[in-house]
Amino acid sequence: MKSYNIALIKGDGIGPEVIDEAKKVLDAVSQVYNFKIKYEEYLMGGCAYDAYKNPLPEITIQGCLKADAILFGAIGGSKWDNLPRELRPESGLLRLRKELEVFANIRPAIVFEELLEASTLKPEVIADTDLVIIRELISGIYFGKPRGKDQNHGYNTMAYTKKEIERIAKIGFQFAANRRKKLCSVDKANVLEVSQLWREVVTDVSKEYPEIELTHQYIDNASMQLIKDPRQFDVILTGNLFGDILSDEAGMLTGSIGLLPSASIGEKVALYEPIHGSAPDIAGMGIANPIAAILSASMLLKYTLKETQAAEAINQAVSKVLKKGCRTQDIAHFGAEKICSTSQMGDLITECLERG
């Protein structure tokens, strides 16, 4: 029987609550599909500061580096807000991403038919939307030098090397190859030289993937198209700044932050996490939506462990439960027949798996 090692980082706030449900679902699906998962738990964020005076202890880094994949909840909370920047929970996460060299952030935006009403956009616009945004994560304007500020002048540098563009472009084409074979690269090549290089390199890389239809859009047009006609997109490939903005915009297509998973991948171990934070306002109340964490576990199965049937079974189970009208409070206004707690939602998804 195949066996995998997953590093679990539950984190702070609702992190432990949602990761417990994701683990519940992983355990159930591994039995159905006959593989074994071993977990090692590590601390990161505020809880790690409390235990070690360090938001990312060495033991966590080493544990993550030897795992097959990492499943992470969320970190942060007001308790740690007054610490020096390098000791704050968020610094732990940024340092972990750096240690893992995860250069590609993958964020799917899938609109569940049952939750069409949950979006602020018209149902007929967003119905059947199924897209993924691939954002370059560790370069571009957030890291470019020189950068600085004085009283009269603030500046940053948006820079990409050919190598950095090539490696993220390859991830984009590989994702498109396993989907509907359409890749839209988003840049600002009409104004920025860095975007001109981006466009040239992406076009060059596309020659290795003749089956993929490549298009280009400027970021201003892409942000408009995304809410005008999101169904036109399959895979969107873009840089760090544009991706940061577009992925939040795409997130709003689906209605609740509690539904959205993500993956960060690179040369080493991949990190899977819901896009939401630690939600201190609802932590400990048992009402957090665990679906984003559960779908992050599904991405882990699909992209790292290649257990694609098990991943699909989780996605189907989530759909079935939503179809039955089961809702956590954040999505309670939309077709709810039964309001569930965090753990009830995990149980229901697990039951659907077992019967599936």
Indicate whether 322 belongs to the interface with ligand NAD (CB under 6 A).
no
In the complex with ligand NAD, which residue's Cβ is closer, 189 or 260? 260
In the complex with ligand NAD, which residue's Cβ is closer, 78 or 152? 78
Determine phi and psi for 273, rounding to 5 degrees. -155, 150
Per this entry, what is the length of the chain? Answer: 356
Active site residue 220: yes
- Its sign, for the CA torsion 194, 195, 196, 198, is positive
Minimum distance from residue 341 beta carbon to ligand NAD (Å): 11
Site for ligand NAD, residues 23 to 82, rule: CB under 6 A: 74-77
Query: What is the Cα–Cα distance from 238 to 187, expressed in whole angstroms?
Result: 7
Indicate the Cα dihedral angle 217, 223, 225, 230, nearest 10°. Answer: 110
Select from 169-177, 209-217, 237-245, 274-282 the region that touches ligand NAD (CB under 6 A). 274-282
Residue of 288, 301, 314, 340 interacting with ligand NAD (CB under 6 A): 288
Query: One of 27, 128, 220, 229 is an active-site residue; which one?
Result: 220
Active site residue 347: no
Q: Exposed/middle/buried for 128, CB within 10 Å: 0-12, 13-18, 19+?
A: exposed
Residue of 131, 168, 183, 282 interacting with ligand NAD (CB under 6 A): 282
Which structure tokens are listed for 259? 């539904």
Query: One of 170, 248, 324, 347 is an active-site residue; which one?
Result: 248
Active site residue 281: no
CB half-sphere exposure, 343, CA atoms < 13 A: 6
Question: What are the distances in angstroms from CA 289 to CA 39, 46, 337, 340?
Answer: 22, 21, 16, 9
Active site residue 188: yes
CB half-sphere exposure, 225, CA atoms < 13 A: 15
Site for ligand NAD, residues 323 to 352, rule: CB under 6 A: 330
Reported in sequence order, the residue ranges of the chain that DSSP labels E, i.e. its strands, are 2-11, 35-42, 69-74, 104-110, 130-136, 148-149, 154-155, 182-187, 213-218, 235-238, 261-265, 270-274, 326-327, 338-339
Minimum distance from residue 318 beta carbon to ligand NAD (Å): 13
Minimum distance from residue 139 beta carbon to ligand NAD (Å): 20
Active site residue 150: no
Which structure tokens are listed for 171? 């991830």
Site for ligand NAD, residues 232 to 271, rule: CB under 6 A: 257-258
In the complex with ligand NAD, which residue's Cβ is closer, 14 or 313? 14
In the complex with ligand NAD, which residue's Cβ is closer, 273 or 307? 273
Site for ligand NAD, residues 81 to 120, rule: CB under 6 A: 90, 93
Query: What is the Cα–Cα distance from 5 to 66, expressed in whole angstroms?
Result: 8
Minimum distance from residue 30 beta carbon to ligand NAD (Å): 23
Query: One of 12, 187, 244, 330 is an active-site residue; which one?
Result: 244
Which chain residues interact with ligand NAD by CB under 6 A?
14, 18, 74-77, 90, 93, 257-258, 273, 276-282, 288-289, 292, 330
Q: What residues are annotated to the active site?
A: 142, 188, 220, 244, 248
